[in-house]
Structure 1
Amino acid sequence: MVSSSFKAGFVSIVGKPNVGKSSLMNKLMGESLSIISAKAQTTRHRIMGILNGEDFQIVYSDTPGILEPKYSLHEAMMNYVKVSLEDADAILLVVSLEDTYEQELFERFQRINTPVFLVINKIDLAKGTQVEDKVAYWKNAIANIRDVVTVSAKTGANVSELLPRLLAFMPQHPPYFPQDEYTDRTERFFASEIIREKIFLNYEQEIPYSTEVVINAFKEEETIIRISATIYVERNSQKGILIGKGGSSLKKVGMEARQDMEAFFAKKIFLETHVKVADNWRKEKFKLRQFGYLE
């Protein structure tokens, strides 16, 4: 039975692309839920991580990086950010050590009523008084922020300071999800994200941004999971690059993805991948709906 003093709430993790939001989410959860790469715009969906304690449940939302939309996929991504902010009981606004205030991206946080905690990430790269200087800079730039926390999502430094601060703002409420769950996403989703992460790590330029991964089959047996995936690209030329000479590039992606899946699912994985072309899928709403970005 849940006590009357139980706290439960939603925390939105937002920021520009490539500020380390996904790394922070994974550190807060103690689980690798969000894919990570050095490239910007890796996260495309809203991914919830459900952190359960004896007397609390915090639902973290890792969201796509805030940007000015250039096509329909970007618009769908920014809608995930909008919904996450509307749901939130508290907001973690993540910036990198080198970031500066940009009015068109950060102005909304001057007006928002939800408590905003500014998280300055990548302090492991700081020199001299850079951290102290940045704390003063951001307190002056965004008058509405409740507090500033400096962290390194890479090393985990100071990340533990966030939980007690957030719990102070969580309302008394029964848990929103069963207390043995740690995410709202399915196993199929994580299989597709693991493959997509390997594409981001193995290819340059437009290839990672032009690909979408769809899991066609996910059959779990006693000792093995059999997964069939299709990787969609926007043009035939990208298909050739993705596959590589004699299939070598695609084979490498499949091997790395399988290894991570076996660690994630704690089972042997049989993975087969296919590559198909979906012309300009990022700009066409019916294809985005087909891939699950739109209702």
Structure 2
Amino acid sequence: MNEKNNITKTAMLTVCGRPNVGKSSLTNALVGEKIAIVSNKPQTTRNRIYGVVNRGDTQFILLDTPGLHKARSRLGDYMVKVVRESLASVEAALLLVEPIPHVGEPEKILLQRIREEKLPCVLCINKIDTVERKDDLLAVIAAYSEVYPDFDAIIPISARTGDGLEELLAQMQRYAVEGPQLFPDGMTTDQPDQQVCAEIIREKMLLCLDKEIPHGTAVEVTRFTEREDSGIIDLDVTIYCEKASHKGIIIGKHGDMLKRISTLARQDIEKFMGTKVYLETWVKVKENWRDNVNFIRSQGYNEQ
């Protein structure tokens, strides 16, 4: 981060791709701190998260969208809609894919949308640290070039190791347009602090719990206060789940699972907030919340 930024340009870019290709990891790597939650389970990112990167005279705003998937609930419908809308108001799209020499249906759909919007598109082949032979990468590049010959650039990267990110930033710079700084210095996301805290807790549930349970949860921050004398943050959180049996699993034997989730979350929240955090968590059952429009709205999933 520069001492003083003299921002004269901005570039708004959407990071898109199928679930679990590393969109949030890329956003976090470029921003340099954890703002988007990362998990190896699909459908982790529910909301549109802006990452803000100031570099030289340019402010990059990254839209990290939910992966494209078939909607199976009202929340699912909302997530698919956010992806579509996030392609409508940006300078360029970064299509993130895995190093597999086959273009899947989700990628074809996204490329079709990008073509309709007449958006410049950069193909980012992520996870190159897992590729053993460079020839394998050439096969991936060939497969995508055949389906979509109009990429502005094709850049192999690893969000995990940082490989290729300088080249990607240099390419992103080409989409910068003259304009004022949109977000203040030091701000790395437009999500309110408490939303980031709620997302971190959800990430830890995805990490600790099996299969479908985390996707049937919502996290609500009911108290977020900073103590005047010490700057310590008191954080009260309610985790909603869809079944009583899930509640038992989330709490765990003698409360062990909830304790584990809370401890891991608190450590990351303290890093993000830069101060000590006292975290209290409760678990409540709210059946079929994913199809309850009012509840979904109350959780902030209400963009038109």
Asked if Structure 1 and Structure 2 have the same fold, meaning a TM-score greater than 0.5 normalized by the shorter chain, the answer is yes
Per-residue displacement from partner, 1:226-271 (whole Å, max 9, x unpaired)?
A: 1000000011111111111121111111111111112221211110
Aligned to 2:12: 10
Return the alpha-carbon distance in structure 1 between the equivalents of residues 185 and 142 of structure 2: 39
Aligned to 1:121: 126
Q: Displacement, 1:277?
A: 1.2
Return the alpha-carbon distance in structure 1 between the equivalents of residues 157 and 109 of structure 2: 25
TM-score, normalization by structure 1: 0.95
Q: Which residue among 156, 161, 184 is the counterpart of 1:150?
A: 156
Q: Displacement, 1:110?
A: 3.4
Q: Which residue among 20, 23, 35 is the counterpart of 1:21?
A: 23
Return the alpha-carbon distance in structure 2 between the equivalents of residues 64 and 144 of structure 1: 24
- Given that residues 193 and 213 in structure 1 are in contact (C-alpha distance below 8 angstroms), is that contact kept between their aligned partners in structure 2? yes
Q: Displacement, 1:69?
A: 1.3
Aligned to 1:73: 75
- Given that residues 2 and 174 in structure 1 are in contact (C-alpha distance below 8 angstroms), is that contact kept between their aligned partners in structure 2? no
Q: What RMSD, in angstroms, separates the aligned Cα atoms of the two structures?
A: 1.7
Displaced runs of 4 or more, over 3 A: 103-106
Aligned to 2:297: 289
Per-residue displacement from partner, 1:177-203 (whole Å, max 9, x unpaired)?
A: 223422111110111011111100000
1:107 corresponds to 2:112: yes
Name the SS for the 2:176 alignment partner: coil
Aligned to 2:208: 202
Return the alpha-carbon distance in structure 2 between the equivalents of residues 85 and 8 of structure 1: 17
Q: Which runs of 5+ in 2 are unaligned?
A: none
Name the SS for the 1:230 alignment partner: strand
The equivalences for 1:78-89 within 5 A come to 78-89=80-91
Aligned length in residues: 294
Aligned to 1:172: 178
AA in 1 matched with 2:277: I
Q: Which runs of 5+ in 1 are unaligned?
A: none
Return the alpha-carbon distance in structure 2 between the equivalents of residues 294 and 237 of structure 1: 29
AA in 2 matched with 1:108: R
Q: Displacement, 1:104?
A: 4.0
AA in 2 matched with 1:40: P
Q: Displacement, 1:135?
A: 1.0
**Of 58-67 and 143-152, the range deviating more from structure 2:** 143-152
Per-residue displacement from partner, 1:43-95 (whole Å, max 9, x unpaired)?
A: 11111011113411111111111112111111111222122211111110101
TM-score, normalization by structure 2: 0.92
Q: Displacement, 1:41?
A: 1.0
